[in-house]
Amino acid sequence: MIVDYHMHLRGQLEGGSEPLRHSLDTMQRFVERALELGVDEIAFTEHAYYFTQTREIWTLPYQLDRCTFDLDVYCEVIGRAKDRGLPVKLGLEVDYVDGRQERLAELLDGYPWDLLLGSIHWLGDLSVDESADAENGVWQRLGVEEIWRAYFDALAEFAVGGLVDVLAHPDLVKIFDIRPGRNIEEELYASAAATIGRSGVAVEVSTAGLRKPVSELYPDPYFLAACAREGVPVTLASDAHQPDLVGEDYEAALKLLRATGISDVAVFTARDRRLEALPS
């Protein structure tokens, strides 16, 4: 079985922007592309900060400016697609917010999620991935090793917190190929894998990193191998914002999984996980 469990339900590009389009017509374009590529099941996982029901959580202008959509509408549209037999799952990308995770979990409780992704895009008020030279970015304010250690501390907190089912692009911190040294990387990867293994959450193997400055899959092969040794299940993801990115570069992702000895993919329904065999 092949899944793509990380995508954003956006309309066609308009002047460089990707407007949210919570409609069956928009969803159908993603589904058609998935089926064309042999992807059996997809999940829509919009960022939680887009929805007014979570507005009290956010503090940054970037988040508050986008917090204008109705979470009930989002869930209802995906529910209608599922009722029509489309191979879609209802998900959300839950961004890390230090000190406010429990409240965010309360706000998201009661919705019929199939899976929740956990991602780290900010450390405090500092962006990890906006731009390496952004004034409000972490790379202009902190040292490289300090950033990596803070990132993996947050990842461990997410893993054990019980809020999410999958850690999305788990080593996103490498996005600009700014690294603390391989020995420190491997130390952090091994420690994170052990924590994730104890937590029971899955990790995402994402092709999105191939489209970023680092030009690598997430996670690093050493990190993935460490997770495999700890029995951590995996999902597959493209982080598609447009239909033409669904399942992109999956050949590379499957090659990495096979090289690591991973033969199953985690599949979610109503936040219940099962393992299905990947194609040989």
- DSSP assignment of 177-191, as one string? ---S-HHHHHHHHHH
pLDDT band at 83 (very low <50, low <70, confident <90, very high): very high
pLDDT of res. 134 = 77
CA-derived radius of gyration, the chain = 18
Burial 219-247 (b: 16+ CB within 10 A, else e): bbebbbbbbbebebbbbbbbbbebbebbb
Query: What digits encode the pLDDT tens for the residues 5-50?
Result: 999 998 776 666 678 889 999 999 999 999 999 999 999 999 999 9
pLDDT value at residue 210: 98
Distances (CA, A) of 52 to 57, 90, 125, 127: 10, 18, 20, 22
pLDDT of residue 16: 61
pLDDT at 72: 97
Q: Please, what is the average pLDDT of the chain?
A: 95
Q: Is the separation of the CB atoms in 160 and 175 below 8 Å?
A: no
CA 116, CA 238: separation in Å to the nearest integer? 16
Helices 24-37 and 71-83, axial angle in degrees (round to 10): 50
Instruction: Report how far residue 19's alpha carbon sits from residue 95's, in angstroms, rounded to the nearest whole number.
Output: 19
| 242 pLDDT higher than 80 | yes
The answer to whether domain 3-277 has CATH 3.20.20.140 is yes
Sign of CA dihedral 207, 18, 34, 74: positive
Average pLDDT on 213-232 reads: 98
pLDDT of residue 130: 86
Rounded Cα–Cα distance for residues 215 and 209 (Å):
6
Cis bond upstream, residue 112 (ω within 30): no
**Claim: this prediction has a pTM higher than 0.85:** yes
pLDDT mean over 72-94: 97
Q: Which of 263, 201, 194 is nearest to 229 (CA)?
A: 194
> Does residue 87 register a pLDDT over 70?
yes
Count CA atoms within 13 Å of residue 189 on its CB side.
Answer: 24
pLDDT score at 223: 98
Q: Is the separation of the CB atoms in 51 and 69 below 8 Å?
A: yes
Q: Which amino acid is at 82?
A: K
Q: In this predicted model, what pLDDT tens digit does every residue of 106-165 receive, in sequence order?
A: 999 999 999 999 999 999 999 999 888 877 789 999 999 999 999 999 999 999 999 999
Query: Would you state the structure tokens that stand for residue 277, as one six-digit string?
Result: 């065999």
Pairing of strands 88-95, 41-47: parallel
Give the C-alpha separation, 106 to 173, whole Å: 28
The conformation of residue 52, written as its DSSP 8-state character, comes to: G
Rounded to 10 deg, the angle between the 182-199 and 221-229 helix axes is 30
Strand partners of residue 205: 236
Query: What are the residue boundaries of the structural domains of the chain, listed by start?
Result: 3-277
Return the closest-CA partner of residue 224 out of 252, 247, 203, 210. Answer: 203
Residue 256's pLDDT band, with cuts at 50, 70 and 90, is very high
